[in-house]
């Protein structure tokens, strides 16, 4: 079974609008961490934001925020005030357990920002 599911292969958003990228996960471990990475066309992977399963509040980092709904096992990335430079692939990833274990990645969502 897929551990991380990203159901949107591609998304379009108008510049300056907000967009939500979906991520659902599957784990029976009560302790886990969720990550979002951005991959621009240049290919590098850029860390955006992290949410821990025991965190009381939704994570925020600048224009990025995470809509964490634990009961629904979803960790959607919200990008506010989209910019042309936000056009990229976005990957959701999860780590289970309590330590620095390897990440499992979803298939990604391609976001295109339109002027």
Site residues for other proteins per CB under 8 A: 4, 9, 31-33, 35, 37, 42-47, 50, 52, 91, 93, 95, 97-100, 102-108
For other proteins, the closer CB: 44 or 115: 44
CB closer to other proteins out of 43 and 85: 43
In the block, tokens 């897929």 appear at: 2
Strand partners, 92: 36
Nearer to other proteins, 85 or 102 (CB): 102
């Amino acid at each position: 079974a897929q551990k991380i599911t990203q159901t949107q292969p591609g998304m379009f958003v108008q510049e300056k609008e907000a967009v939500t990228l979906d991520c659902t996960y599957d784990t029976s471990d009560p302790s886990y961490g969720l990550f979002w990475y951005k991959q621009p066309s240049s290919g590098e992977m850029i860390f955006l934001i992290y949410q821990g399963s025991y965190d009381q509040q939704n994570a925020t980092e600048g224009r990025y925020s995470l809509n964490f709904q634990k009961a629904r096992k979803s960790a959607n990335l919200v990008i506010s005030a989209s910019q042309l430079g936000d056009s990229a692939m976005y990957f959701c990833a999860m780590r289970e357990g309590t330590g620095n274990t390897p990440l499992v990645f979803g298939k990604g969502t391609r976001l295109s920002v339109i002027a």
